[in-house]
Structure 1
Amino acid sequence: MNKTLKKNIGLLHLWLGLASGLIVFIVALSGSLLVFEEELDEFFNPEFYKVTEVKNEKLSVDLIVSKIQKEYHITKIERIHTFHDRERTLIITGTDSNKKDLIFAVNPYTGKVQTSIAEKSRFFSVVLDLHRHLILGEFGKAVTGISCLIFVFMLLSGLILWWPKKLKNLKQRLTVKWSASFKRINWDFHSTFGFYTFLVLLIISLTGLTWSYKWFESGIYLLADGTTKKPSAKVENPTKTDAKINDTFFYQKIFSKTDSIYKFKGDTQIRIPSDTINSLMVIKLNTEKSIPNISSMAYFDKYTGKIIKTKPYESFSNGDKIRRLIYPIHTGSIYGYPTKILAFLVCLFAVTLPITGLLIWTGRKKKKHKQA
């Protein structure tokens, strides 16, 4: 490679790294926590996930919903989440009279609310907001998006800078000389482990762009389906009324109907639209599959409970199937604990990159100052 070009790439790598270092540190650190979100949250908040005693029969979902609405002044139920695991709690999300979104973990056998928390106050809700938006809303989203793009360039430019001029120097670039000075160890650690983690970090960074930029998501659909138009997940409700539901087993029948349509073992979630236009959507996650996020959908009339449409996973477009894999790939959950541990370790290494990079820069500044 041209020496001048490589020097310019090195300068860009340096200054862009200094400009985005703090954001990369925050995003990588929060991302490493999110890899084991479910495990950590269950460890510290077991009452949110598990019941102490499993009984023969569960109460009607509608009975539990009605009880929560009365006791906690819930004006709108948004989601109801049941699980195939009989030890799991029933999770209900709703909005109270103060317009606060609350999450309830309920014992499905007794109807007792084991714990409740404001959705935005959950520790991992805050961590996720920090990871995606720096807790700064749309401005933070723009900053993390730009920083993610910069990080992709940093990875590619870092590989170019790491690449040895001669093959005989390759062994030196693949090892850390632990017996050398701190300055040399720091440089080796930054560049050598940067090479080893390059591919995983690149995949995590590129998949992360999906949440930052619509054009990136549209690009996925264009490559997979030949169109940038994303298939709508919503189906219009045929009954045009805002009449109250009189059926005392309304939600329970929907869960039962969904299980009769999709007979695989899985966790089922009812999503109730806030408007009067769209129908009620049910998502059933197939827990029999080795790869996560394989779900099928069904749509019901939000007033009568009649089935409107089924959408099994097999009918999804290629773009939708790829899009559903983005999250498990990004978080490392795609193949369970082996890929989770890999993603966790790689994210922790990414946390060190701005620090070791800064030390390399300050070391060079001191060297130039002494020479002067």
Structure 2
Amino acid sequence: MKKKLMKTFGKLHLWLGLGSGLIVFIVALTGSIMVFEKEIDQYINSDFYFVSTIGKTKKPIDYCTDLLQKEYSVKKITRISTFNDPKRTLLIVGKDTDDQSIIFAFDPYSGKILGSVDQETRFFSIVLSLHRHLLLDDIGKLITGTSCLIFAFMLISGLILWWPKKIKNLKQRLTVKWGASFKRINWDFHSTFGFYSFLFLLTISLTGLVFTFDWFEKGIYYFADGTTKKLSNKVENPTKTDPKLNKTAFYQTIYNQADSIFDYQGNIQIRMPADTINSILVLKENVEKTIPFQSSAAYFDKYTAEIIESRPYENFSRGDKIRRLIYPIHSGSIYGYPTKIIAFLVCLFALTLPVSGFLIWWGRKKK
């Protein structure tokens, strides 16, 4: 019975691996690139993300948004990102007359535009799109999500197949016999390093399921809170029509209120609603915390800039807190460079698994 079960696992491991190998290769390759996205992008485009001189006072945010709308054909502001680091630029995302999203970088002290880039065609946006849905939108998202699910099974079945029948053979399974034939080295490389990276790759693949499958995300909330209900990122706007108030300091007023409500050092992001119903969402990330993405939320009237509701991070449910850990765990950024390096290395190893696995199968097929 056990022998038959192992044979079944072996066949599933083989054919599922061959079927999903190319997708796993693409996702692992793009994932390894995305691990150090921030560091690479900021190094290559330092003038876009950092100012050359730190001034004494900053221009009001509305000075910059007005400049975009008056002189750069920006018809709608969608997102504003400010940073606690005084060297960082102010980033504003706006849509032009062709409905294209453009990211503008401002010197917050002088109000001068330092550069702009199309949000969808920037290099890392394309890499992310390739990583999440192969540039194929919903159908691609389903393909990568299914491949991610298969990869998780591959890891578990691979561990079962790797596990030695006798404990005395464990040492042999934990080392690569570098002096052997290429066929033996390839098999050892595939299985041995697969064991060492098992836990990390399983964690990355399972957290990746959240970005594809709604049922998996609901499962996290049910496990943590006993309900599938999650904290909504939307709050309905109480004011239904624009009262035509003086909005010369509209965004700055929202920023100042959010900054004072949450009394800690942090990066603040203002998100405009995509519809006509909901209010403005403001997130303030606590940069004093070791683990990133611990952001409190506040909601503001999109016509009057009045506070509607505030939700400190401490009041979030366990499910919401776990959900906000998914991205830093998946990307390896949860504990900074140590976990990023681990994520980068295991992703590089993951892209070799379809290749080494194919060579193992091809060698047996020839034999």
- For the aligned pair, the TM-score class normalised by the smaller chain equals over 0.9
Structure 1 position 194 matched with structure 2 position 188:
no
Q: Which residue of 1 aligns with 2:259?
A: 259
Counterpart Cα distance in 1 of 2:275 and 2:191: 53
Residue aligned with 1:80, SS: strand
Q: Which residue of 2 aligns with 1:308?
A: 308
Residue aligned with 1:74, SS: coil
Q: Which residue of 2 aligns with 1:227?
A: 227
Q: Runs (4+) of structure 1 moved beyond 4 Å?
A: none
Deviations, residues 44-98 of structure 1 (Å, cap 9, x unaligned): 1112210111110111100111001112111110011110001100000011111
Report the CA distance shift for 1:228/1:105 in structure 2 as closer, same or farther (over 3 A).
Answer: same
Deviations, residues 116-173 of structure 1 (Å, cap 9, x unaligned): 1111011110000000000011111011011011101100000010000111110000
Residue aligned with 2:329, SS: helix
**RMSD between aligned residues:** 0.9
Q: Which residue of 2 aligns with 1:143?
A: 143
Deviation of residue 304 (structure 1)?
0.8
Gaps of 5+ in 1: 368-372
Gaps of 5+ in 2: none
Residue aligned with 1:352, SS: helix
Structure 1 position 291 matched with structure 2 position 264:
no
Counterpart Cα distance in 2 of 1:9 and 1:245: 67
Structure 1 position 339 matched with structure 2 position 342:
no
Q: Which residue of 2 aligns with 1:6?
A: 6
Counterpart Cα distance in 1 of 2:185 and 2:142: 35
Deviation of residue 244 (structure 1)?
4.6
Counterpart Cα distance in 2 of 1:71 and 1:197: 52
Residue aligned with 1:333, SS: coil
Q: Which amino acid aligns with 1:197?
A: S
TM-score norm. by structure 1 comes to 0.97
Counterpart Cα distance in 2 of 1:274 and 1:289: 30
**C-alpha contact 1:242 1:276 (8 A) present in aligned 2:** no
Counterpart Cα distance in 1 of 2:69 and 2:135: 30
Deviation of residue 39 (structure 1)?
0.2
Larger mean CA deviation between 238-247 and 295-304 belongs to 238-247
Deviations, residues 322-342 of structure 1 (Å, cap 9, x unaligned): 000000000011111000000
Q: Which amino acid aligns with 2:37?
A: E
TM-score norm. by structure 2 comes to 0.98
Matches within 5 A, 1:106-145: 106-145=106-145
Counterpart Cα distance in 2 of 1:244 and 1:332: 46
Report the CA distance shift for 1:115/1:245 in structure 2 as closer, same or farther (over 3 A).
Answer: farther
Counterpart Cα distance in 1 of 2:30 and 2:206: 17
Q: Which residue of 2 aligns with 1:34?
A: 34
Deviations, residues 254-298 of structure 1 (Å, cap 9, x unaligned): 111111111100000111113221111110000000000000011
Counterpart Cα distance in 1 of 2:272 and 2:184: 58
Q: Which amino acid aligns with 1:351?
A: L
Residue aligned with 2:143, SS: helix
Q: Which residue of 2 aligns with 1:21?
A: 21
Structure 1 position 360 matched with structure 2 position 360:
yes
Residue aligned with 2:103, SS: strand
Q: Which residue of 2 aligns with 1:97?
A: 97
Q: Which amino acid aligns with 2:350?
A: A
Residue aligned with 2:75, SS: strand
Larger mean CA deviation between 268-277 and 119-128 belongs to 268-277
Q: Which residue of 1 aligns with 2:60?
A: 60
Q: Which amino acid aligns with 1:163?
A: W
Identity of aligned residues (%): 65
Deviation of residue 243 (structure 1)?
4.6
Residue aligned with 1:263, SS: coil
Q: Which residue of 1 aligns with 2:270?
A: 270
